[in-house]
Structure 1
Amino acid sequence: MSKPLSLLVTLLCAPFVFGQINIDFCEQLDALKEIIVSEHISPKPLGDDLSKGVYSLFIQSLDPDKIFFTKSDLQEFSIDEYNLDQYIISHDCSFIDKYITKLAYRINSTKKILETLFLEKLDYSGKDTIHFMPKNELYYYKT
Structure 2
Amino acid sequence: MSGDGFSRREITSAVVFTVLAVAIGFGSYRAGVGMAHETGGGAIVTAAAGDTTVNGQALYASSCGGCHGAQAQGGVGPGLAQSAAWSGPDFAASVLHGEAPGGRVLAPVMPRFAETGLNGEEATPERIAAIHTYVKSLQ
TM-score range, shorter chain: 0.3 to 0.5
Greater relative contact order (Cα 8 A, min sep 6): structure 1 or 2? 1
Higher helix share: 1
> Which of the pair is proportionally richer in strand?
2
Q: Which has the larger radius of gyration?
A: 1
Scaled by the length of structure 1, what TM-score is found? 0.35
